[in-house]
Structure 1
Amino acid sequence: MTGDVALTSALRNNLLTLQNTQRQADETQFRLATGKKVNSALDNPLNFFRAQSFGNRASDLTTLLDGINLSVRTIEEADKGITAINSLLDTAESIVDEAKSAYNGSSTSVANIRGLSTDGGAAAAGTALSALNGGIKEFAAGDTLDIDVEAFGTTLATANVTAGDSITDLVAAINAITLAGGDQPLLAAFSATDQAITIDVNTGGNFDVSDVENVKITVNDGTATNDEDAAINFGGTIVRDSSGETTIYSGLYSQVQNLQDRYDKILTEITATANDSSFNGINLLKGNDLLTVFNEDGTSNLSTTGDDLTAEGLSLSTADFTSRTNVDTRSGELSSATTTVRNFGSLIATDLSLIQTRRDFTESTIETLKAGADDLTLADLNEEGANLLALQTRQQLGTTSLSLASQAQQSVLRLF
């Protein structure tokens, strides 16, 4: 073609070699810049797509790892709540123990009046009024046994028996007590089988059981300068519970009321603690379930079942320490609740251990996948650096060779 420059075969070969060397140098420089020997499917289709598959799975597992870490935090928060609830249950148990001690040495019901002594001394726990069976003994002439019914801070009615009177006389004296309105506050009866007197509150008429603050039996020594109060005070408040038992406090109503208030506050705090043990919208202590997924398709997972650890969920009733029976009932509820909380704590501790193990495994799998992808695509920088140096040397030599060939042609032209 007109205008084409004719090149000798040697010049053309040198030029092609320089172009090829430059292309290889450019590729090597790109590998050094990216750090990869396979940057696209054109470089190595098999390695490229395998590495891409490994990278995609590593990315999916990394996303799942975030969810696994959230599950760990959710269980850790629940565990902290369980620790707090256990502490509150221990405190509640100590209050119940205090309530139990309020009944030590005093009656749990008027069917067995403890703390009564016929000789003015202290009676052993369990001593009942049946000690007076057959007659009121060991009273000196002039001694009396007074029975007082107190309400609204004052004595409403009283009765007494003297030395030589019988148990029947004592029962009759108690039953003869009447209030100003004519109501009979107490009902007494003697059981020959049980060898004991039972005193109950008469719920008939206009009389309210809760009005009675104290029923007091006092031994008065007629020979003493001042009347002796033998501390036979087994009153406080008489309450009829759901079973029909008439319960009697040994002057400890205010103390028991204080214990009830403290107990109810603890129940409120147990519920509040359970409600506040939420993380990421999941509260295992309120019965929410937690699902932790370990693989991409969800076939490997762990379900952590929640439980209701509020006071209501633990079947903890509000305080009612009006009888030893009720106190024992609350003690049983606390024991059951403590067992439930501890068992649930053990359950989630096991799940936490499993999740942490799977988390470590997932992290290792992610690292393995990334390493596999790198093995298929990463370049050996030392090798690529050496290749670039060799190509640059070859390029310099090719340029020199091309220059010499060009000079030879110029020398021929100067002959003309």
Structure 2
Amino acid sequence: MSSEKPAVRLALLGCGTVGSEVVRLLHEQAADLTARIGAPLELVGIAVRRPGRQRGTIDPALFTTDALGLVKRDDVDVVIEVVGGIEPSRTWLTEALRAGKSVVTANKALLAEDGATLHDAAAEGGADLYYEAAVAGAIPLLRPLRESLHGDRVTRVTGIVNGTTNFILSSMDATGAGFGEALDEATELGYAEADPTADVEGFDAAAKAAILASLAFHTRVTAADVFREGMTGVTAADMASAKEMGCTIKLLCIAQRGPDSTGNESVSVRVHPAMIPRSHPLAGVGDAFNAVFVEAEAAGQLMFYGRGAGGTPTASAVLGDIVAAARNRISGTRAPSESSYAHLPIRPIGESVTRYHISLDVADRQGVLATVAGVFAKHEVSIATVRQSGREEDATLVIVTHGAPDANLAATVEDLRSLDIVRSIASVLRVEGGV
């Protein structure tokens, strides 16, 4: 008599770039997966919008357009969702979780906007919710935050979590190209979508930042809580100025735990381009790679690095979650539930303290520097360095500040705009990493 346990039955929602790779890996690694889990995995259905579309060697009998019906089937143990978007994915996954079925999802948008609904449904149904693939592709990042560092106090998470923007900024840094030229290259090579808005305006990174902050600080954080600034305004001149300072520019997500203006514990989460010194571990992350730098009180500094996007890397993370969910079902155990006990308030961007790099086009005449410095002093923003270059009647002032609250800097910039000696404010960039 065979001692092999009954198969763990899987339903797959979506069979695009990631979904098709999940199917391929399930087939190619079937024997190894069975050995790791202690039972075989059986794919019993795949929900797609166009079932007649050619999808290689996948059995056409598996395809259905009725995703909700597939989720509700009694012979489904684990639901895998790689469709994306808010609805109808939220409906499908809450249905599965409330029915006690494990869920594996790569849906960062849904988790960042309404992860609470999924976690509540998982608690109600006593089900597992895994989502390692939602942030940084194949990089094992979320499980260390949720499990390995659970006994530590994470204080800050800084990351490059969007491969498209990192490719663009790396190209600008290496070649001196402008944003438009670098974006065209990224599009031609397939790194950027036809509509790159979600990437270059920081929406994708903000969703991931919300998920990271939620796990790191045991607090429910949504995408709406994240301050977001895109990188379309970064110029070749900004990159050249960064080089002069020994820096480069990256689109960073920064989540930090610390006191607010009244001294109470709070969380700050932001996404924006920033100058960082070339000595910082994140500065050398090039091409379309992702990296996340975690700082914790006991563990110290940790770095997670790898490919953050693409069908195969993302499918690898999905498969890891499938194995974990299947093992739990076989053993009758559950994954760690959501940890949101801290309920920390979100600190507004105006209270976030950092340094700034400001480039001003000014009239080249006597007293200009003193007038500009007076505006900074008025708003209690201390100047660290000033560089000036002139051309005929115009001059460029490049000012780097000491740390100051964002609100003070914003007020300073508004006052500078009103000065008749300031022709334009060419750029305002944050400076991170102790330059």
TM-score (norm 1): 0.23
Relative to total residues, which structure has the larger helix share, 1 or 2? Answer: 1
Over alpha carbons, which structure has the higher Rg?
1
Give the number of the structure with larger relative contact order, counting CA–CA contacts within 8 Å between residues 6 or more apart: 1
TM-score (norm 2): 0.22
